[in-house]
A = this chain, B = another copy of it.
Amino acid sequence: MPHHPNSNDPIGVFDSGLGGLTVVKELFMSLPEENIIYFGDTARVPYGTKSRETIIRYSREIVSVLLKHKVKMIVVACNTASSLALDVLQKECPVPIIGVIDPGAKKAALSTKSKKVGIIATQSTVKSGKYAKRLKDFEPKVHVISQPCPLFVPLVEEGWFDHDITFRVAKEYLADFKKEGIDTLILGCTHYPLLRKTIARVMGSKVTLIDSAREVAMEVKEILGAQKMLRHDRKSPEHMYLVSDEPEIFKFRAVRFLGTSVKNVKRV
């Protein structure tokens, strides 16, 4: 049966765990009227150390769950899945599906004047080369420097956003960027916006930080607007969270990402 989404249908968002909630938070701000269904694959998190084949399989399973919930659009709010699985998903998915790579890459290409752009991300996102490739598509003259920062996610999960140790780890990871003179830095992992202040302190005010979560929320707004699919309903919007592991752990940890508590968490 063909899928006929209408404007009241929810936006589906998924991630390997909780990081994608930074995208949900941005959607709350730019599209406060939208219904949102978030899927966090908490039983199989993280994706960053897994193979392409495994990531594609997991992502397909999640997309089919979201489609059963009649989403009108899907955001792959996971950099690893966006790097490794989005092209496959886009061929199969009956509703618009976008990832977090393109919006961040596009914004960075527009922002850089020195044509030197830095990217920080997980090991697998850096290894995929997708950010660098898309940046060059948007701005062929750009010189791209990438740096995996595997300790940033655990530091966020420890809640050490402004901790002195986090500052020192950031100084170590970001040292080459300072030497190379980049003027734009992409936060290429959904956890990183929570370290924005510390990263800004290391990089200084002359470097523009590109927050992929924010850029992807803007892109969702543009796409739904162009398709006349923005929700206009007097009823207040509904937000639902689906997880593959224990809902209570998710609830407890989600507050840190959303800045507000979540209800309506279901295990699937």
| Option from B44, B151, B155, B157 in Cβ contact (under 8 Å) with A44 | B44
- Pairs across A and B, CB under 8 Å, 23 listed: A42-B49, A42-B50, A43-B44, A43-B50, A44-B44, A45-B49, A46-B46, A49-B245, A49-B249, A50-B246, A51-B245, A51-B246, A51-B249, A150-B154, A150-B157, A150-B158, A151-B151, A151-B155, A151-B158, A154-B154, A165-B168, A165-B169, A165-B172
Number of chain copies forming the complex: 2
Query: Chain A's interface: helix, strand, loop or mixed, by majority?
Result: loop
Which chain B residues lie closer than 8 Å to A150 at the CB level?
A: 154, 157-158
Interface residues on A, range: 20 to 34
Contacts of A20-50 to chain B: CB distance below 8 A? 42-46, 49-50
Which chain B residues lie closer than 8 Å to A151 at the CB level?
A: 151, 154-155, 158
Contact (Cβ within 8 A) B245 A54: yes
Question: How far in angstroms is the closest Cβ of chain B from A58?
Answer: 9
